[in-house]
């Protein structure tokens, strides 16, 4: 992922008001390993149920031109009862299933102002980029072959990018 500035992060949010963008707590951007991320996700330390996801969308049909970042404000649901295993809709990791949480985002524009929302299950700490790059298990790869493992990781990375992009586009869609 291309490194972003605080100004770019704030400007990328498609489903927030001006005051929500100003209240956003930005993580320490100097400490982020940008080259290992497919999207940037973080929880707001002052608002425990608020989180943000920003992704640079490549030049594809229906996306912003020139790979501009698109971000959304998410709300986590409050956890009640014991945690249950669930599959993250973005990274689809079958190993890390204990910290998957339901996040909801209001749509951008008039639809969001009317209260329309979109929800999905995402890794609670937004570690999807790390999950898709983990070494495939023997059961996943079928054999201990470096080429097969690389192909599996490449497919996982592409699926993560596609799934995340699809969600961001759904939030951004106003009709």
Checking if the pLDDT of 81 tops 80, the result is no
Could you tell me if residue 1 is inside a domain?
A: no
**Separation of alpha carbons 109 and 173, rounded Å:** 8
Q: Which domain holds residue 56?
A: 6-172
pLDDT, tens digit (0-9, with 9 covering 90-100), for 61-78? 444 445 789 999 999 988
Could you tell me if residue 74 is inside a domain?
A: yes
Number of separate domains in the chain? 1
Could you tell me if residue 39 is inside a domain?
A: yes
Could you tell me if residue 148 is inside a domain?
A: yes
- Its pTM stands at 0.88
Q: Which residues are paired to 69 by β-bridges? A: 56
Of the candidates 98, 67, 77, the residue with the CA atom closest to the CA atom of residue 161: 67
CA distances 26 to 3, 39, 40, 43, 116, Å, are 13, 14, 11, 9, 26
Checking if the pLDDT of 175 tops 60, the result is no
Give 159's pLDDT tier (boundaries 50, 70, 90).
very high
Please spell the DSSP secondary structure of 101-126, one letter per residue: EEEEEEPSHHHHHTT-EEEEEEETT-
Least confident of 42-56, 57-71, 82-96: 57-71
Q: Are 130 and 36 in contact (CB under 8 A)?
A: yes
Could you tell me if residue 131 is inside a domain?
A: yes
Could you tell me if residue 67 is inside a domain?
A: yes
Checking if the pLDDT of 60 tops 80, the result is no
Q: What is the mean pLDDT of residues 115-120?
A: 93
């Amino acid at each position: 992922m291309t490194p972003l500035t605080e100004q770019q992060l704030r400007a990328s949010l498609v489903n927030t008001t001006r005051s929500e963008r100003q209240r956003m707590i930005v993580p320490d951007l100097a400490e982020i390993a940008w080259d290992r991320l497919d999207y940037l996700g973080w929880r707001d330390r002052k608002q425990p149920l608020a989180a943000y996801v920003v992704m640079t969308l490549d030049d594809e049909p229906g996306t912003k031109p020139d790979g501009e970042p698109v971000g959304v404000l998410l709300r986590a649901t409050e956890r009640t009862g014991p945690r249950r295993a669930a599959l993250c809709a973005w990274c689809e990791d079958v190993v890390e299933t204990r910290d998957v949480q339901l996040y909801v985002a209001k749509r951008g524009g008039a639809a969001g102002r009317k209260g329309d929302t979109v929800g999905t299950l995402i890794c609670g700490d937004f570690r999807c980029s790390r999950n898709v790059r983990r070494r495939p298990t023997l059961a996943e790869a079928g054999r201990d072959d470096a080429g097969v493992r690389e192909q599996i990781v490449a497919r996982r990375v592409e699926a993560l990018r596609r799934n995340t992009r699809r969600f961001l586009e759904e939030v951004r869609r106003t009709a």
